[in-house]
Structure 1
Amino acid sequence: MTAFSSAGLKQPAWQTTVTFTLAFWLSGSLLLDWVIMPSLFATGMMAQPGFATAGYSIFWIFNRIELLCAALVLTGLLVLHRTQAASKLGGRKVIFLSLFLLTIAIIDTYFLTPQMSALGLQLNLFEPVAEIPAGMNQMHGGYWTLEALKLIASGTLLGLCYRDRA
């Protein structure tokens, strides 16, 4: 336990790491949701038979990066909390928000993305492309709800970390 209280774990280094990780994660999410996916939709790629596979490949990579970012943010905030530096950030509220972000990343990675890809996968290459399955719209709604919650929580954490750095 003395490793946590040693001089090697400095508050500014961990706080900077958390701030930059949150900024990277937030910008990546905005880029994927507001630039990449709309441009794929506008070019008609979502109507192509192989889009489910391509979309799963894109989200597979991005979801793993999200898991790493969520774990790094949670670790940094736990260290800051342990060194009594998180009390200025908001105490247990920041730990709860980082756990919430990790939960969203896990849901996206292991539940939502595989299910959406499985629904959109065309298994018979000789049949014309069928219309979008009914369950896909509900999953899109769930995805956008989770994305909105993720953006609010990460924006709140980023604001708290940035405000405390100034």
Structure 2
Amino acid sequence: MNTISHSNHREHKEINWSAIILFALGFWLSGSLLLDFVLIPALSVSGMMTEGGFASAGFLIFGVFNRIELICASLVLTTAFVFSVNHNFDKQKQGLFIIFSSLLFLIALAYTYLFIPNLSAWGLCLNQFNPSLTMPSAMISWHEGYWVLEALKYGLGITLLRWSYTK
């Protein structure tokens, strides 16, 4: 009658934070590359960007992707804090890891709540009888800012990916 029941005994498994950050950064950066260098150029070549409804479609596509970016950026920032508590890196690299992760999170926030709404607003054609065929100068400025942040995102993301992989 001495039966040992293992149903109440659960083993605690540690979370593999290295795998989480590698997955989050890999998924995020590959999705960004796909969006920036495959989907948008394909839409541009097909002529969809000159259509009146492209601003709405762009807002929807980028809106969904930006929410995914926020989730990935949150995972990366959380992992950076875990790495700093566990002392996975030397002091200088720990600080840089948190700073780079925070910048990635701020970039994702800027895209979601600043850039995409403004780009979509500038892309709307409010005069159906006299549509503008040129891009407004304010929209060009927003695009330039987007590409600067995108280059920064790729640089920071690849650096964190490399550090996490070699850890």
Q: Normalised by the size of structure 2, how large is the TM-score? A: 0.88
Q: Which residue of 1 aligns with 2:104?
A: 101
Among 137, 142, 162, the residue aligned to 1:139: 142
How many Å separate the matches in 2 of 1:149 and 1:120?
24
Q: How does 1:1-166 map to 2 (within 5 A)?
A: 10=14, 13-87=16-90, 90-164=93-167
- Give the 3 Å change call, closer, same or farther, for CA 155–8 of structure 1 in structure 2: farther
User: Which 10-residue stretch deviates more, 16-25 or 120-129?
Assistant: 120-129
Alpha-carbon separation, structure 2, partners of 1:83 and 1:68:
22
Provide structure 2 residue ranges, at least 5 long, that are not aligned to the other structure.
1-10
1:95 alignment partner AA: I
- The 3 A distance-change label for structure 1 pair 125 and 9 is farther
How far 1:124 sits from its partner (Å)? 3.0
Partner Cα distance (1:62, 1:145) in 2 = 18
Higher radius of gyration, 1 or 2: 2
> 1:22–1:152: structure 2 CA closer, same or farther, 3 Å change rule?
same
| Residue correspondences, number | 157
**What is the TM-score when the length of structure 1 is the normalising length?**
0.88
Structure 2: which amino acid aligns with 1:94? F
Distance in 2 (CA, whole Å) between partners of 1:94 and 1:87 is 10
After the TM superposition, which of the residue ranges 75-84 and 54-63 deviates more from structure 2?
75-84
CA-CA distance at 1:89 after TM superposition: 9.2
Where do 5+ consecutive residues of structure 1 fail to align?
A: 1-6
Question: How far has the Cα of 1:128 moved from its partner?
Answer: 3.1
- Aligned identity (percent) is 45
